[in-house]
C-alpha cells in the first residue's frame, strides 16, 4: 500500500478517536470509567494500525510524515485494552528513537503508560490519575529528583509544573474525581486482569 494512503488512514483513525472523545467531554461522560463505545473504537483502531505496522514497521515521520506519525502514537496510547499491541509498539518505538527517527518524549509517555497498567513505577511521571483525596496527581514513580532529571534530558518540564498543567486541563474539560475511590480502584484492577495487564 502507498505510504500516502497509509498516512491518510492513520490520520482518519485518530480523527474518529478525537471526535468521540470530544463528544464524551461535552456530555460529561469522559471521567465516568472507560466508556464502552470508546473502548470498542480503540480496539478497532488498534487492529487496523497493527495491520499497517506489520506492513511498514513503526510509522515514523520519514515513512508517513509528521502528522500521521503523531496520530499513530496517539492511537497506540489509547489502545489500553491491548497490552501485547502496546508492548510491541513500545519495542518498535524504542528502536526508532535509537535510530533518531522518533521523538524520545513519545517513548517516555508510552513506557510510563505501560508501567502504570502493569503496576510498576513510571520513569518520567507522564501519567496522572485521581488520588483518594480527589486530587489529580502523577501515578506512582520511583524518585522525584531522578524523574525530573529524566524529564529534563528529553526536553520535558519539571514534574511540579506538569502537575499544574494537568490540573488546569481536567478543570477545562470538566473532569471530576470518582465518587467512590475504592469502588473505582476495584473496577480498575478487575479491568486490568480481564485484558491481561496483571494476573
pLDDT tens for each residue of 183-195: 989 999 999 999 9
pLDDT at 31: 62
Closest C-alpha to 156, from 107, 105, 121, 83: 105
**What mean pLDDT, rounded, does the chain reach?**
94
Parallel, antiparallel, or unpaired: how do β-strands 136-138 and 128-130 relate?
antiparallel
How many Å apart are CA 88 and CA 11, to the nearest integer?
Answer: 21
pLDDT score, position 63: 95
pTM of the model: 0.92
Residue 93 CA, distance from chain mean position: 14
- The full DSSP string for 77-138 is HH-TT-HHHHHHHHHHHHHHHHTT-S-HHHHHHHHHHHHHHTT--BSS---EEE-TTS-EEE
Amino acid at each position: 500500500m502507498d505510504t500516502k494512503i497509509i498516512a491518510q488512514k492513520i490520520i482518519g483513525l485518530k480523527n474518529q478517536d478525537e471526535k468521540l472523545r470530544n463528544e464524551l467531554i461535552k456530555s460529561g461522560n469522559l471521567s465516568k470509567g472507560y466508556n464502552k463505545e470508546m473502548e470498542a473504537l480503540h480496539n478497532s483502531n488498534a487492529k487496523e494500525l497493527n495491520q499497517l505496522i506489520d506492513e511498514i514497521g513503526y510509522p515514523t515521520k520519514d515513512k508517513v510524515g509528521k502528522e500521521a506519525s503523531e496520530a499513530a502514537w496517539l492511537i497506540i496510547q489509547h489502545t489500553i485494552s491491548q497490552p501485547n499491541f502496546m508492548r510491541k509498539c513500545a519495542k518498535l518505538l524504542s528502536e526508532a528513537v535509537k535510530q533518531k527517527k522518533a521523538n524520545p518524549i513519545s517513548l517516555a509517555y508510552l513506557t510510563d503508560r505501560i508501567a502504570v497498567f502493569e503496576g510498576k513505577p513510571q520513569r518520567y511521571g507522564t501519567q496522572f490519575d485521581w488520588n483518594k483525596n480527589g486530587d489529580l496527581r502523577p501515578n506512582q514513580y520511583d524518585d522525584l529528583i531522578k524523574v525530573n532529571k529524566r524529564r529534563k534530558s528529553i526536553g520535558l518540564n519539571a514534574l511540579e509544573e506538569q502537575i499544574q498543567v494537568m490540573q488546569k486541563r481536567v478543570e477545562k474539560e470538566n473532569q471530576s474525581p470518582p465518587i467512590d475511590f475504592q469502588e473505582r480502584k476495584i473496577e480498575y484492577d478487575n479491568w486490568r486482569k480481564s485484558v491481561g495487564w496483571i494476573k
